[in-house]
Amino acid sequence: MARAPDQQVLDFLTGYDSPIGSVALALREVLLEEVPDAVEKVYRNHPTAVWYGFGPKMQDMFCYIARATAHVNLGFCRGASLQDPSHVLEGEGKMMRHVKFRSERDVGRPFVRRYVRAAAKQGAGSVPNPAKRTKRTA
């Protein structure tokens, strides 16, 4: 089992015992099994989702889980550039794409873990490595 969520994340994902909350928690578990070091964050200026990434800033995030009334979206921050051989990504924006999940059975579809790993790999490449910074001299 993945690490326990803090109360704010748990309340958000479960929707205070909404049936769709179990789908959100199942997605969270898959995501953290695939990317155990992911930072989990709820932003006040983006209160509709729980975000996952490799640092504290929005630009460090590679995906999100967002609840709706009848489904849960697993969104990919740079999803427009992800390969989509399963043809499941939805959205038409410049950057983001998402997949809708309506049941826990949907979470077990074979492509889910592959897409999470690909998004994490893509996201890890976008986070600056402080060790690689060059020192400026005056």
Q: pTM here?
A: 0.83
Whether 61 contacts 41, CB under 8 Å: yes
State the residue for tokens 């995501």: 31
State the residue for tokens 């060059």: 134
Q: Which residues contact 6 (CB under 8 A, 6 or more apart)?
A: 40
Fold for 7-132, please state it: Aspartate Aminotransferase, domain 1 (3.90.1150)
For residues 105-122, give the mean pLDDT: 96
Q: Which of the four pLDDT bands, split at 50, 70 and 90, describes residue 15? A: low
Of residues 113 and 10, more confidently modeled: 113
Instruction: Convert the pLDDT of each residue in 35-77 to its tens digit.
Output: 999 999 988 887 779 999 999 898 999 999 998 889 999 999 9
| Residue 16 in this model has a pLDDT that exceeds 70 | no
**114 vs 109: CA distance, rounded Å:** 10
Whether 107 contacts 35, CB under 8 Å: no
